[in-house]
Amino acid sequence: MSTPQEIKAWQDRLITTFGANGAVGVRFLADARAAERVTGAAFVHKFHGHRVLTDSFLEFFGGTLRAQSTFNNKKGWPQDQPYYMTALMMYLTVFRTIRSAELLSERGYVLRAYAIQRSVKDQLWILCAAANEIATFDELFGWGGRVEDVSTNDQDEIFKAQLNTENMVRRKIIGSESGLSKESEAQLLIWERMFNKEVHRAQFSLFRASAQLLENPDLQLGPVTDDLSDAMYLNRSMELNWVTLRLLPFMRRADTPKDGQWSANWQILEESFRFMFDGFNGLGKAIAPAFLEMLESKCKFDSSTYFKEPRAKDAPAVKAESSALKKSQ
């Protein structure tokens, strides 16, 4: 183990080599940080409607999570729904993932935020599958009834089962078994592949940076304003947040006290997303009707929806919630 003196010497060497006036990051990194502030502020100012709708949605999302957590702490986890804990933590993860994408966009990195949206989409498909009773949580996570002492071989089998389940879920929500029109299937496939291009090798970031360099050969380390990148992120944000809103009622336990204000606020957001979508649809983009067909077919939930744990046919009741938590760790 290094001594405090050795650690300080190591730090001082870095500061001396790469810093100035006793600090690191005051030259080239400072330029990138300045660009992040300027580009991010321009993004927030230009797309004020996005900021108002998204922050309103996240406020409602966060409030719903807090209220459900408080109710659970008071009543205890439902013994007959052992995977409810897993479901609630999935919603918390979705909230944090959406928020992390927003933070990147507010610093000008909209295409890196776009890459994170692929993760949001994947998480939502699993929740959507549970809400539509396409598969049990045990199936969705590939656990296969395993509860304790998962071996390395089990981990391999779980990984393979998860991939198989994800492919099955995709087919049923937007693919060949979805029942959607062939035109919508084709457009949603393009929609998915665009996410993948940015996730793998950051291809859109690469191409946009190359185009910007042709316009201005003075290379900038930090982000620059780019209308095409902004539009890609904003459109996907509107779509994925709307899907999330449709799935939020499934977060609540059936014994959650009735709350008329919650239902009214949910409806206000539903109408707000539709208003935003109608503007997008008016641009004539082929993805718009395809997305709407998918939303109305696979996310037909409203404020009267409550959590119901999907169960496999002819399967015994799942084990206690402590087992579900252990398997989710």
Specify the 3-state DSSP secondary structure of 24.
strand
52 CB-near residues (< 8 Å, 6+ apart): none
Q: pLDDT tens digits, residue range 285-329?
A: 999 999 999 999 999 999 999 999 997 554 433 333 334 444 444
Alpha-carbon distance of 196 to 179, in angstroms, equals 24
pLDDT of 322 reads 39
Specify the 3-state DSSP secondary structure of 49.
helix
pLDDT of 319 reads 39
* CA dihedral of residues 149, 150, 152, 154 (deg, nearest 10): 140
Structure tokens at 199: 């996730």
Structure tokens at 184: 């919508």
> Mean pLDDT of all residues in the chain?
91
pLDDT of 129 reads 96
Alpha-carbon distance of 328 to 72, in angstroms, equals 19
Alpha-carbon distance of 139 to 156, in angstroms, equals 15
Q: Which of 20-24, 243-247, 300-304 has the lowest mean pLDDT?
A: 20-24
Strands (E), the chain: 19-20, 23-24
Question: Which residue's structure tokens are 């010497």?
Answer: 9
pLDDT of 324 reads 44
pLDDT band at 232 (very low <50, low <70, confident <90, very high): very high
Residue 152, pLDDT above cutoff 70: yes
pLDDT of 311 reads 76
Structure tokens at 63: 């409030």
Task: Find which of 79-88, 231-240, 306-315 is predicted with most confidence, using mean pLDDT.
Answer: 231-240
**How would you class 319 by CB atoms within 10 Å of its CB: exposed for 0-12, middle for 13-18, buried for 19 or more?**
middle
Q: Which residue has the higher pLDDT, 137 or 324?
A: 137
Instruction: For residue 231, give Cα distances in angstroms to 95, 151, 153.
Output: 22, 46, 44
Structure tokens at 320: 């206690």
- Give me the percent of the chain exceeding a pLDDT of 70: 93
Average pLDDT over residues 83-111: 97
Structure tokens at 165: 């389940």
pLDDT of 42 reads 97
Average pLDDT over residues 227-242: 97
Alpha-carbon distance of 133 to 235, in angstroms, equals 28
Name the pTM for this structure: 0.90
pLDDT of 297 reads 97
| Residue 38 and residue 223 in contact, taking contact as beta carbons nearer than 8 Å | no
pLDDT of 289 reads 97
pLDDT band at 142 (very low <50, low <70, confident <90, very high): confident
CA-closest candidate to residue 328, choices 100, 158, 152: 158
pLDDT of 147 reads 55
Structure tokens at 306: 């409550």
Alpha-carbon distance of 129 to 266, in angstroms, equals 21
pLDDT of 145 reads 65
Q: Which of 15-19, 249-253, 277-281, 314-318 has the lowest mean pLDDT?
A: 314-318
